Structure formats: C-alpha cells, structure tokens
Amino acid sequence: MKVLVTGVKGQLGYDVVNELTKRGIEAVGVDIQEMDITDAASVEKVIGEAAPDAVVHCAAYTAVDAAEDNVEICRKVNADGTQNIANVCKKLDCKMVYISTDYVFDGEGTRPWEPEDERHPLNVYGQTKYEGELAVQNTLEKYFIVRISWVFGVNGKNFIKTMLNLGKTHDHLTVVNDQFGSPTYTYDLARLLVDMVLTDKYGIYHATNEGICNWYEFACEIFRQAGMKVEVAPVPASDESQATGEQPHEQSQADRERIRKASFLAGCVREISERNPVNRFCVSRKITGNTSGSGIGNGTAPILANVHHRAFKRDGVQSIQIE
C-alpha cells in the first residue's frame, strides 16, 4: 500500500508519515514546496505521479484569528485545496482522509457533539473547514472525515510550545479557565489514522485523546511536568484582555459536570522541550473513532470526541483497544 500525506512539515502530517513508515507502509510526504494544494494542476501532477492508494490530507490554513482578515487565502487552502485533492482522488479511485475540526460546530449545547450533528461554524476558519468537508462528501464515496481538536506534537506550533516559551520569560501568566477540550497528541492520533486508512469503514469521525481540562489546567500541568516555576492565574474568557498566550474560542463540549482535570501529559512536555522521544505518552492515551453510519465505535463524547480509544482492523473486527 502507498499513502500520500499532505502537510508533512506540520505536527500531524509528520507523525502520520512516521507511523506509516514504522509499519512498513510506503509513505509519500509532501508540503507546499512539493505540491501547492491551491493549484489544481500541481495537485493532479504530484498525486497522479505518486499513484497512492490513499491520501491523508493534513495540510490546512489553521491560523484561526488571522483567518478573519485573510478570508480569501483561508478559503483557497481549506476549501478549494481540499476540492482539488478530492477531484484527483476520485479520478484515481483512491481513499481520502480529510482532517477537519470542532470549529465546524458553534460550541453551544448541553450534550456531546455527534458526527452527524448539524454544523454551524462561527468563524472563517470553521466555515472553510466545513466547506472542505462538503467538498469531500460531494465528490467521493471512499472518504474519512476526521474532526479533531486541541492537537499538539513535536513539530509545528501548539499550546504546549507557547506556554513553555512564555514560561522562560514570565514568572506569572493568566490563562482562561472556562474553555474546555481534550488535548490530543499527534503521535496517538497518527496511529488511529493509519489504522483507519487500512479499512473501508468510511464515514465521519470524531477523535481526541481521553480526558478533559480547561486551558488553565492544561497550562498548570505543562509547567508542572516541565519543572518550571511559573504562577498561573485563571481568568474567564470574557476577560481576554488579561489572558496570556493562545486563547482559542469556546470549544465544542457539553456536560461540564463531567469535566475533570486530566493528567495526560507525562513525557510529552519533556519530548517537546528536550526533543527526546518517549515510548508512552499519557495516562489516558485512548482515542476513539466515532462515526455516523459505519457502526464503528461505541459511546458518545462529553466534548467533540472524548470517548474510548479504538482502532480498526482489516479482518472485519469493528474496533479493538490499542495499548
């Protein structure tokens, strides 16, 4: 099997290529230097020459705030670029995995978001990712749409790196404490995506690491495990003028009575700060694919996809727990 991965220089694409290679699967990693996804001719040439059995599309315009001022380029990358890739996948009759986001929802409600729930994006980034989902759904039959949230890894920018960098120059930080989510390690997510692409269990999935926290709790745990003495003060999102660092919008989540502090960063902070690989990531390193229509996965999520870690097998077994 051969799999082409877009956005290989990003945190998720990098880990997906590594996971494919580790399993002996031929991986072709490309970034903008090799293939400009907004250029239909470039996409057709590169993917056509590679002739993959599947494409894992990780590349995206992910600067949420900047997207509000750069609507055209954001749409060109997230919607038009995705359409270009879907068109070639259809022509080659190959599978496509499209990485989407919880930003396709409005973050309101009192129950977990299900994959089939109606999408109501509130910002440009969410709207263009929604349009990318439609491009995939309207073009292909052999597709996986995987919505993720709060991802972090060794490559690329993320909240952990932001906090570690700020901690070097600040003794005191304020971080919002009323936005909740499930931080998700790209190493774990990559394993799920590779398991998934080996099957034909197509559909829409939600996937995150297990455990829920708010940004304040996340920051405190980062500094604790990094051994950095930084005082972190909680502030509400409504007082963003006092908040420090990245302050994402209210994430899609529901029953806050179920929210608990999750200590799931063991080793990862060290890996990111020291670039030393670790064998295990977290206490709760379970990921679930929860899809509409395919029958894979069981249970619902207290937020976007915070259910139990499942993987997919070729032999028809719907799900198995990965350790």
Q: Which residues are catalytic?
A: 125
Q: How far is CA 291 from the centre of its chain?
A: 16
- Let me know the angle formed at the C-alpha of 169 by 164 and 238, rounded to the nearest 5 degrees: 75
Backbone angles phi, psi at 184, to 5 degrees: -130, 125
Exposure pattern of 215-226 as b/e (b: 16+ CB <10 Å)? bbbbbbbbbebb
Exposure pattern of 129-141 as b/e (b: 16+ CB <10 Å)? bbbbbebbeebbe
Residue 129 contacts residue 100 (beta carbons within 8 Å):
yes
Q: What is the dihedral of CA 74, 79, 83, 86, to 10 degrees?
A: 100
Closest CA to 260 of 213, 205, 202: 213
Residue 112 contacts residue 301 (beta carbons within 8 Å):
yes
Closest CA to 36 of 76, 91, 86: 76
- Rg of the chain in Å (alpha carbons): 19
